[in-house]
Amino acid sequence: MTSVPSYVSGTSDQPLLDDTIGANLDRTVAAHGERDALVDRASGRRWTYRQFADEVNAVAFGLVDLGVEKGDRVGIWAPNCAEWTFTQYATAKIGAILVNINPAYRTHELKYVLNQAGIRTLVAAPSFRTSDYAAMIDQVRPDCPALTDVLLIGREEWNDLVAIGRGGSVAQLEEIQDGLSADEPINIQYTSGTTGFPKGATLSHRNILNNGYFVGELCSYTAEDVICLPVPFYHCFGMVMGNLAATSHGACMVIPAPAFDPALTLEAVATERCTSLYGVPTMFIAELADPSFDSHDLSSLRTGIMAGSPCPVEVMKQVIDRMGMAEVTICYGMTETSPVSTQTRADDTLQRRVSTVGRVHPHLEVKVVDPETGETVPRGEPGEFCTRGYSVMLGYWEEPAKTAEAIDADRWMHTGDLAVMDDAGYLNITGRIKDMVIRGGENVYPREIEEFLYTHPDVVDAQVVGVPDARYGEELIAWVRLRDGAPELTAEKLREYCEGKLARYKIPRYVHVVDEFPMTITGKIRKVEMRERSVELLGLQEVAATRHA
């Protein structure tokens, strides 16, 4: 008897969208112009779809007046705010490539991204929390020759750009839009690289518009829905699964705060009568534990999305029972696939929703292969998760060799994740071939941190692995070898060294000083053994045993 292979394709009665993002937005505005499009709670501002389109067009015209052309890279470096969204759609309308920059980045990372993408124009918040973006930009600008314009949101240069844009010609913008193709690049998102520097996943209109649309379809979105988005826009989670899912259905986007705040998120859901709420498990855990939880009326909630890292079973049950999100879904994917490849459905049993990452998305193919041979494994056997279809990125920006390592000759994206497909086509993610750590929904690649740690004057060698954490899913521990005679290196001292140079989520929480690393016979570092020993060393056995979906 032949066993069934771990392969499935996603059928759908709904055809793929062949629009550009700008054309799709125009269609939504024509159908739902007077409905709410965007609510920015922090600033107390709100826009109908018609008003939203006017703001988008003003920013688009302003960028054109500044000399931005199709294919030019426009960076966005800011926490969640209305202007982030205006810039997202404005760049799409003129065919400029939006480059998302993580608000947690520091000068080391900022300079690299500005130069690697060749960013011409940078839109940025002047500051946020402890980050003085304006000062950091000034610091790196002399080393970024491609950067000609910096627009600080709320400052004179931004206000002037919008004011000039309001006088632009609609006919000119339509002419620009008519010259765009859905297959052209529109977005670059940096994923931390195993080579020490991030790689720019380059995505087209077709990639992200369709992925946002089908995420929304599987959440049964209509123009009646109101989606609360505490997840960051610089991730696909915010700008694709959130914004593009909303605008392709005429639904309303609600920004509860510039960065995640559990109480403000709950307040936004209650006040705006949100029907959908997004988050990584850490966010839902914080909301459920917030002292103000019981004072908020969450009865409007119907659905939502949990993604970004494994979902603890008990958390999922509480989200359904205490928050009323009976139709909440789990999504799985990666930036390079726009991002979603699989999703649970609203009619899936609770067991399916807490124990799998769902089934293949419409118009996509997925398979599980033997990492060594590339052969598709039988159902029930573990292997590498691969996906193919409209969602697979165009490639890594100006890195053809890295692209070829990830996408094979038949256009299959090799995710590096280990998965098991069951008889019904549901998938479980069981581990990672690569060393990526997911901390609170943030993808962290140890190699990048290791290379930075080598700059420490006392560090001879460093290896970073993930260890289980009850709050963030995973935390980082750095195993380090020190030079002879070096003073003791504590976690606190290492944090001080990294502060301001590395994004905070990349700074190891734990440090373990060793004389040597566990090695294989062939001289390779045994990171699996390091993880196991770290769990014992830190007394994390109970956390490691916690069941996740």
Hey, is 510 helix, strand or coil? strand
Where b means 16+ CB within 10 Å and e means fewer, 464-479 reads bbbbbbeebbbbbbbb
pTM above 0.75, yes or no: yes
Query: Regarding the domain delimited by 442-544, which CATH topology (the fold level of the hierarchy) does it fall under?
Result: GMP Synthetase; Chain A, domain 3 (3.30.300)
Average pLDDT over residues 169-188: 95
Average pLDDT over residues 131-139: 97
Please tell me the predicted confidence (pLDDT) of residue 75.
Answer: 98
- What's the burial of 124, exposed, middle or buried (CB within 10 Å: 0-12/13-18/19+)? buried
**CATH numeric code, 21-32+46-204:** 3.40.50.12780
pLDDT above 90 covers a percentage of the chain that reads: 80
Please tell me the predicted confidence (pLDDT) of residue 315.
Answer: 86
Contact 244, 22 (CB under 8 A): no
Asked if the model's pLDDT at residue 508 lies above 60, the reply is yes
440: left (phi over 0), alpha (psi -120 to 50) or beta: left
Work out the angle at residue 531's Cα, subtended by the Cα atoms of residues 514 and 435, and round it to the nearest 5 degrees.
105
- pLDDT higher for 358 or 315? 358
Distance CA 463, CA 241 (A): 34
Cα-to-chain-centroid distance, residue 78: 15
Contact 298, 268 (CB under 8 A): no
Distance CA 336, CA 470 (A): 28
Q: Judge if the upstream peptide bond of residue 230 is cis by omega within 30 degrees of 0.
A: no
pLDDT, tens digit, for every residue of 418-456?
899 999 999 998 766 767 788 888 878 787 888 789 889
- Helix then strand then coil, % of the chain, to nearest 5: 35, 25, 40
Computed over every residue of the chain, the mean pLDDT equals 93
Q: Which two tokens stand for residue 129?
A: 């929390």
Asked if the model's pLDDT at residue 353 lies above 90, the reply is no
Hey, is 412 helix, strand or coil? coil
Q: Distance of CA 74 to CAs 98, 99, 147, Å?
A: 5, 6, 9
Among residues 328, 333, 320, 367, which one has the least CA distance to residue 344? 328
Please tell me the predicted confidence (pLDDT) of residue 42.
Answer: 98
pLDDT, tens digit, for every residue of 280-311?
888 998 999 999 999 999 999 999 999 987 77
- Residue 107 is inside which H or E element, if any? helix 107-117
- Provide the pLDDT confidence category of residue 478 given band limits of 50, 70 and 90: very high
Residue with tokens 């094979």: 408
The structural domains of the chain, with segments of one domain joined by +, span: 21-32+46-204, 442-544
Please tell me the predicted confidence (pLDDT) of residue 196.
Answer: 57
- pLDDT higher for 384 or 546? 384
- What's the burial of 307, exposed, middle or buried (CB within 10 Å: 0-12/13-18/19+)? buried
Please tell me the predicted confidence (pLDDT) of residue 382.
Answer: 87
- Residue 90 is inside which H or E element, if any? helix 82-94
Residue with tokens 């844009």: 165
In the chain, the amino acid numbered 541 is: Q
Average pLDDT over residues 82-105: 97
Distance CA 89, CA 247 (A): 10
Asked if the model's pLDDT at residue 372 lies above 90, the reply is no
Cα-to-chain-centroid distance, residue 527: 26
pLDDT, tens digit, for every residue of 4-49?
999 999 999 999 999 999 999 999 999 999 999 999 999 999 999 9
Hey, is 548 helix, strand or coil? strand
Asked if the model's pLDDT at residue 519 lies above 80, the reply is no
- The Cβ of residue 294 has, within 10 Å, a number of other Cβ atoms equal to 9
